[in-house]
Structure 1
Amino acid sequence: MKTVLKYLPALTLAAGLALSAIPAMAQQPAAKAGAAPAQPKSSPAAIAAAKEILSMKNASAMYANAVPGMVEKTKIALIQQNLNYQKDLNEVAQVVAQQLNGRQNEITEGMAQVYASEFTEQELKDLVAFYKSPLGQKLITAEPKAIGLSMAFMNSWAQNFTETVMGAFRAEMRKRGKEI
């Protein structure tokens, strides 16, 4: 369960983005295979509304540690390849983390662009209004718990269903005279 809770903010945002993008994707013609989707130029107001939505949903919590996490991951990989430089790499990691501090804000900008390209300016303003409403506030508050409980249910179901599948395999193999 701790693993699920660790990723809950990211899962909440990903699920919200996925669910909110379905109607928009259904309205768009299929893109050519291999071609990158065209990104329409978004208005500053649309970008601002998208950023407000991301702020209300506390999206930055899911990538707040992106820079130190990436620095640490890179440091570990480099140490594994250069064991004799461990002391230096530990020191350099602190310098690099300091130099790159704040770059995670680029994620906010990119996510706002994505929202603004998937929704019209008016739709984004409507979403802001919704999230400010009592139901929207309840959604923001209750959705992480609902997603966490849903993930726990899915994990439990998968574990139980795996046993069912294993039983079916064993039964079919027994019919062939083979015990597994």
Structure 2
Amino acid sequence: MNRLARMLSAASLALGLAVAGVPAVAQQAPAAPPPLKQAPPAAIAAAKEILAMKNAAAMYASAVPNIVEQTKNQLLQSNLNYQKDLNEVAVIVAQKLAGREKEIGEGMAKIYANEFTEQELKDLVAFYKSPLGQKLISTEPRAIQFS
């Protein structure tokens, strides 16, 4: 059981690094991102509208199991003796991360509202509502799948 707890901790750390997109650097802690400034409510609303049009919650929901599986497979390459434990841990980690789409979406909306002006976000909303924007939204998942 102690071994399972260590593997769970290691898998959670590895998954956290993979999900956050933070490179694992030995002996050097990653710098904390700068705090997000308070964005106007209209900017956050436009950002949320963009994320809804792009069906971002579904992308997050499907990405989590894939990231867990990839992380598990990477850990298995150097820990073949722990295959059973890693399989069990992968299920636990996936369950803990499931259902966090809303939380992720809120964070993404705040990031968008910090990176784009309110007018830029409104322009993006208008673009995504246009025929070309709709075409981009419909083809983007396939492009990601085949890349």
Determine if the TM-score, normalized by the shorter chain, exceeds 0.5: yes
Match of 2:98 among 84, 96, 101: 101
Match of 1:78 among 68, 75, 78: 75
Matched ranges for 1:155-166 at <5 A:
none
- What is aligned with 1:121? 118
TM-score (norm 2): 0.56
- What is aligned with 1:58? 55
Quote how far apart the aligned CAs of 1:122 are.
4.3
Quote how far apart the aligned CAs of 1:99 are.
1.5
| Percent of residue pairs identical | 65
Contact 1:47–1:112 (8 Å) recurs in 2: yes
TM-score (norm 1): 0.48
Contact 2:51–2:109 (8 Å) recurs in 1: yes
Partner secondary structure for residue 63 of structure 1: helix
Runs of 4+ in 1 over 6 A off after TM superposition: none
Number of equivalenced pairs: 109
- The AA in structure 2 aligned to 1:86 is Q
Contact 1:49–1:125 (8 Å) recurs in 2: yes
Match of 1:140 among 110, 133, 142: 133
| Unpaired segments ≥5 residues, structure 1 | 1-35, 150-180
- Work out which of the two has the higher radius of gyration on C-alpha atoms and give 1 or 2: 1
CA distance in 2, matches of 1:70, 1:54: 21
